[in-house]
Amino acid sequence: MKASERFDAYLDYLSDGLGHADRDAGLRGYCTGLMLPLTRKSVEPMAAGLDPLHVRARHQSLHHFVAKADWSDAEMLRRIRDWVMPKLGLDTGGFWIVDDTGFPKKGKHSVGVARQYCGVLGKQDNCQVAVSVSLASASGSLPVSWQLYLPKAWADDPARRQKAGVPDAMAFATKPEMALQHLASLLAEGLPPYCVLADAGYGVDTAFRNGLTDLGLPYVVGITSAISVWPPEIEPLPPKPWKGKGRPPSQPRRTADRQSMSVKALAMALPTERYQTVHWREGTNQTLSNRFAAVRVRHAGSNIGRTRLWPQQWLLIEWPEHQSEPEKYALSTLPETATLDELVGIAHQRWRIERDYQELKQEFGLGHYEGRGWRGFHHHASLSIAAYGFLVAERLAGHKPGAQKNRIRRQTPAVPEDFIPRGTPQSSAARPQLHPNPAPSTQRSARRNATQMSVLRTSEPQVTFVTQ
């Protein structure tokens, strides 16, 4: 079967979950547009790439499908997952990877936009942020749950919610709370309780870690150097005896010689021989390796943590040889029998979600949606993941489409010479020459002339789109 035939079969399967046969054309057009080698994958460039002879009609069709049509994102993501999942090779185990990603935005009207930390920029700025959970194996990964984070200022503003189409049932939740809700939903569908991986933005949240344990999910999550733990050789005293009145004491007792310490202090105090060099995978240019140590500790930080004696778990420390202090820390509830190589190998599977986001944004236009509404934002993301899901499935299956490796060619008409982009006045007179810097007239307003808009043209009769 050719790649184009596999793509058609994939879209047939996804289309069955749209709820209405009339939406099939929108799905095929939008996913095909996301596959095209376009610089910008918002609705109008995709419409011009798909059907340059009827850009306006195609633009309206695609816009209605992504921004207005009432189909289920959850069902779309479930079908994408079910198509890719058998190819991930999960017989040997898998992982749930929790993360979020930001989309820099100007203005204040796009749904969920606020001044908050944006990982893309590495600082606080105006942006939207979405929380996702990816299903990963040693072979590949795919986002299977996705939702926009709604800042409290948005959640508590009925007028903005109504204008952006935020569902009434959508209440404020922190990012760790959203991640727990995603994971609980996935488990409710019968998916396996794989180990959860997350960075320190989630790992420092005690309630998040406890929530994972309550769901029966082991974890390896990043933490900061300030997290407090009980070292391996030190145990707090049991709570004071109950005197028969009030609530029985539950807080472990500390003394001058029984004190918790930060994970950084513990790491610095470990003897040098506790650190070993571990290789975890082959990189692009070299084998990836670093120095690590793993010790059994009990969490002791925060007011919540001091009210009870937590079970022992692994503290994984990563300390590059030529640095003055450790670089990363992680807590893990993997079994006590886990080896250092296993801990390191699992902790470093989190890189896969970074690759997912990179390809989704660079190749499939994840951040290119220009609408402001809740439905359109999520529909566009689901369709970007759908296009990416086909790519992942093709890679995992090892398909190589003949001489045109990694590409499918589709016949499309070339843009005619007299093509006028949407929004350009039809009656504009043709000009044999356009000066790049014309002097503005003193008799007319200095608004931007419509003839300065770019014209989409191509001399090739064929358009390619990426499939692997």
- DSSP structure class, residue 428: P
What whole-number distance in Å separates Cα of residue 328 and Cα of residue 465? 40
Cβ contact 312:298 at 8 Å: yes
Per-residue pLDDT, 302? 56
The pLDDT tens digits of the residues spanning 168-215 come to: 999 999 999 999 999 999 999 999 999 999 999 999 999 999 999 999
The pLDDT tens digits of the residues spanning 253-290 come to: 777 777 888 999 999 999 999 999 999 887 777 788 99
What whole-number distance in Å separates Cα of residue 30 and Cα of residue 62? 6
CATH architecture of structural domain 206-235+259-351:
Alpha-Beta Complex (3.90)
Instruction: Say what the alpha-carbon torsion angle 322, 328, 331, 334 is, to the nearest 10 degrees.
Output: -60
With 0-12 / 13-18 / 19 or more C-beta atoms within 10 angstroms meaning exposed / middle / buried, residue 191 is: middle
Q: Which residue type does 450 have?
A: A
pLDDT at 466 over 80: no
The pLDDT tens digits of the residues spanning 47-96 come to: 999 999 999 999 999 999 999 999 999 999 999 999 999 999 998 899 99
Give how far Cα 443 sits from Cα of 9, 72, 165, 440, 449, Å: 60, 53, 43, 9, 14
**In the chain, what's the furthest Cα-to-Cα distance?**
97
Banded model confidence at residue 308, pLDDT cuts 50, 70, 90:
low
- DSSP structure class, residue 292: E
Per-residue pLDDT, 244? 77
Cβ contact 465:35 at 8 Å: yes
The residues, ordered by sequence, that sit 6+ positions from 39 with a Cβ below 8 Å of its Cβ are 45
Region 126-151: mean pLDDT is 96
Per-residue pLDDT, 245? 78
Per-residue pLDDT, 461? 41
Tokens representing 256? 């001058």
Rg of the chain over Cα atoms, rounded to whole angstroms, equals 27
Average pLDDT, the chain: 85
Per-residue pLDDT, 284? 72
Residue 143: strand pairing partners: 134
Model-wide pTM > 0.75: yes
CA angle (104, 110, 111) in 5-degree steps: 105
Phi-psi region of 247 (alpha: psi -120 to 50; beta: other; left: phi over 0): beta
Cβ contact 464:408 at 8 Å: yes
Of 25-39, 135-149, 273-287, 369-383, which gets the smallest average pLDDT?
273-287
Instruction: Say what the alpha-carbon torsion angle 136, 33, 11, 357 is, to the nearest 10 degrees.
Output: 10
What whole-number distance in Å separates Cα of residue 365 and Cα of residue 381? 9
pLDDT at 297 over 80: yes
pLDDT at 344 over 50: yes
Per-residue pLDDT, 235? 76
Per-residue pLDDT, 286? 77
CA 219 to chain centroid = 18
Query: Among positive and negative, which fits the CA dihedral 165, 167, 171, 172?
Result: negative
Give how far Cα 298 sits from Cα of 231, 252, 253, 305, Å: 7, 12, 14, 10
For residue 163, give the 3-state DSSP assignment. Answer: helix
**3-class DSSP string for 57-78:** HHHHHHHHHHHCCCCCHHHHHH
